[in-house]
Amino acid sequence: MNAPVLATAHITVLLGEAVDALLGDVSDEADGVLNGTYVDGTFGRGGHSRALLQRLGERARVIAIDRDPQAVAAAAADPGLADPRFSIHHTSFGQLVPTLAAAGVTRIDGLLLDLGVSSPQIDTPERGFSFRFDGPLDMRMDTTRGESAADFLARADERHIAEVIRDYGEERFAVQVAKALVARRESGNPVRTTRELSEVVAGAVKTREPGQNPATRTFQALRIFVNAELEELEQGLNAALDLLAPGGRLVVISFHSLEDRIVKTFIARESKAVFDRRAPFAPEVAMRLRSLGRVKPGETELRANPRARSAVMRIAERTDAPAPAAASMGGKR
């Protein structure tokens, strides 16, 4: 196994653009200061949370969430986050509603989701996210619970493995990869490390896009499956509708087409008034979001951080008053 590789510093993608989009226009504030409650649903290494704290007033709250215990530990050890306005919770944004309810929060003024994996996760071999380093084939974002990628491959049948690789990785050689993985397992030598997985995939995937490692799509698929990332995203988006105050913002940064398709479809659906064709005289169900467009990284950011090249940020604003609930811990308006 390779020598340990120190994790690189995480460069927050679309940092300024995301914070600007989340906070919106402060021109309607009497003192030009925002004092609402904002949620950083994917803390990572805190780039967005720190930027929010710099922009918000003394009565604001920034509530961070991350299911990676290493991210939560990093937040606790960061003197720059020793701020009474800041708190962090070890959970996933799919559990946003109960997590905030336990903290006494039922209304928020903004929710930011920066999807995917962070640089420290990718660049730490023992986390098993990358084919660039040899390490245990783990891939769990929350290492305290759930099934690792190696454990899944050790027990799943060929059809299930192929479905995961095809559906979550959009890998056209999914069946061949699954057959090779099961054949190796049946020989008494199941895949347990990232290097072993890369070698099996390389033997099964005969062609690949120029410059792309043959294992790219399989690694992506297993990571998404093990962490139930798309299901978590659906839950987090639905939670935004329950939690956002009128005028509150939803900002989502995604890094591959499966994520972005879910976000785009969700915002489009909730940005339309709905008529019941079976009851033409019934009142329409009002639109709940207003799409504010999408943003991609500029050339300057792409030169400084090549990992930003696939990022897409979508922005929406809550349009109507949610169902009655207890008063928010904050309030932008």
pLDDT digits (tens, 9 = 90+) for 73-120: 999 999 999 999 999 999 999 999 999 999 999 999 999 999 988 889
Ordered structural domains, the chain, with CATH: 15-119+229-318 (3.40.50.150), 143-226 (1.10.150.170)
Q: Which of 165, 218, 174, 212 is nearest to 196 (CA)?
A: 218
Q: In 84-228, which residue ranges form alpha helices assigned H by DSSP?
A: 96-102, 119-122, 149-155, 158-169, 174-186, 194-204, 216-226
Between CA 281 and CA 119 the distance in angstroms is 54
Question: In angstroms, rounded to a whole number, what is the distance separating the alpha carbons of residues 312 and 304?
Answer: 17
Q: Are 229 and 263 in contact (CB under 8 A)?
A: no
Read off the pLDDT of residues 26-47 as tens digits, 9 standing for 90 and up.
545 556 678 999 999 999 999 9
314 bridge partner residues: 252, 294
Per-residue pLDDT, 1: 35
Q: Are 49 and 64 in contact (CB under 8 A)?
A: yes
What CA–CA distance (Å, rounded) separates 324 from 69?
Answer: 34
- The whole-number average pLDDT for the span 256-279 is 87
Nearest to 86 by CA among 50, 118, 110: 50
pTM of the entire predicted model = 0.88
